[in-house]
Amino acid sequence: MTAEALVLAIVVVTALAFDFTNGFHDTANAMSTSIATGALRPKVAVAMSAVLNLAGAFLSVEVAATVAKGIVNLNGVDPDKLLIIVFAGLVGGILWNLLTWLFGIPSSSSHALFGGLIGAAVAALGFGGVSWSSGVFAKIIVPAALAPPVAALVSAIGTRLIYGITRPVPEVSKERGFRWGQAGSAGLVSLAHGTNDAQKTMGVIMLALIAHGTVGKDDPMPFWVKLSCALAIALGTYVGGWRIIRTLGKGVVEIASPQGLAAESASAAIILTSSQFGLPLSTTHTATGAIMGTGLGRGNGVRWNVVGRMVLTWVITLPLAGLGGAACWAVAHFVGGIAGVLIVVGILVAASAAIWVRSRRKPVNSANVNADWDDTAALSDVGEPEITVVDVMAEPDPPLPPADAVRTKEML
């Protein structure tokens, strides 16, 4: 195997690793409300989401085409340099995904990927290496700015209509019926997520294959690319990003089943529409806006401190993931050759392991994902061991009788 082929193989594996993190990072977008309302059991929810993400990945390639041809300027770029750009951008995106997962913040995996690619491209090629107006502004920034308010508006209107129409229905019957409805709407969001997010990794792998010369710029996407990306995002989804599921399901608003149905339906409609037009929309922004809209529509309060932390993270995702991508490019370029790529791989593995070990101090899983939200705690402060409070003033229990007395009584 030549050095160029080895680098291509490392890029493809890294892209699939990013797809895996995308799956467990963004499971919350589809399933957080259904889990929070009890419509689906946590493990059932992530399993269903995984299957539908897998199916959704085969429904469209419009977003993949946007990623492969619309962000980085391919004209006149040395193929070997372009491979390193894609690799460095992927590493920057993975590290940002893992860091935000650790703190339970639902940031955009799409923007982490794009930020990493943009940072690496600028470091390698200068600002001319990125399609700013037709790519970054039109296909990333504008959709990112519009998705949350549009989703919130649609969801708020839907919530008001649902509660208005079902006002005569007894509360118990209403809750039970909408939980069944949520199973369908959450599945639709998962299907939509597959049509949008899995496509981004397909586009990145296509970008690497074009750079290596394996396929031409206008060639159709190989089937193995679609299959491997679909499987990677499905597996990541099945793992379940419980920390982020908890934040979206319990931290933004106390949500009931009718609100969950409204939020999921709004998210699915917007994501599927964006996929049809080839817009790499952030499903995180869309789902969060929809959940916030249900709180506004119902008037039962939005936790603005939690939303504020999310929005701040959204704003800094592109630049900080970009810095990560640029730094990885600098290391790989400074060392040079396959050695530079392997050093960056080592950095990625070490950082990922450190984040995983840190997350085990305060684990979040299917057992405690629906625990009551504590506004005074940080987003990552869940999963703390329970402390039993002992009342020292209470009457002591009477002493147990001696064993001999018990045996004598039994004999009598």
Q: What is the pLDDT of residue 278?
A: 65
Q: What is the pLDDT of residue 356?
A: 93
Q: What is the pLDDT of residue 64?
A: 53
Residues 140-192: pLDDT tens digits? 888 888 889 999 999 999 999 998 999 888 888 888 888 888 888 888 888 87
Q: What is the pLDDT of residue 383?
A: 42
Mean pLDDT of the chain: 82
Top mean-pLDDT range of 79-83, 339-343, 377-381, 382-386: 339-343
Q: What is the pLDDT of residue 378?
A: 45
Residues 292-350: pLDDT tens digits? 999 898 877 788 888 899 999 999 999 999 999 999 999 999 998 899 999 999 999 99
Least confident piece of the model among 21-30, 116-125, 252-261 = 21-30
Q: Where are the domains of the chain?
A: 3-385
Full 3-state SS string of the chain: CCHHHHHHHHHHHHHHHHHHHHHHHHHHHHHHHHHHHCCCCHHHHHHHHHHHHHHHCCCCCHHHHHHHHHCECCCCCCHHHHHHHHHHHHHHHHHHHHHHHHCCCCCCHHHHHHHHHHHHHHHHHCHHHECHHHHHHHHHHHHHHHHHHHHHHHHHHHHHHHHHHCCCCCHHHHHHHHHHHHHHHHHHHHHHHHHHHHHHHHHHHHHHHHHHCCCCCCCCCCHHHHHHHHHHHHHHHHHCCHHHHHHHHHHCCCCCHHHHHHHHHHHHHHHHHHHHCCCCCCHHHHHHHHHHHHHHHHCCCCCHHHHHHHHHHHHHHHHHHHHHHHHHHHHHHHHCHHHHHHHHHHHHHHHHHHHHHHHCCCCCCCCCCCCCCCCCCCCCCCCCCCCCCCCCCCCCCCCCCCHHHHHHHHHC
Split at pLDDT 50, 70, 90, the class of 379 is: very low
pLDDT above 50 for 410: no
Q: Higher model confidence: residue 59 or residue 150? A: 150
What pTM does this model have?
Answer: 0.83
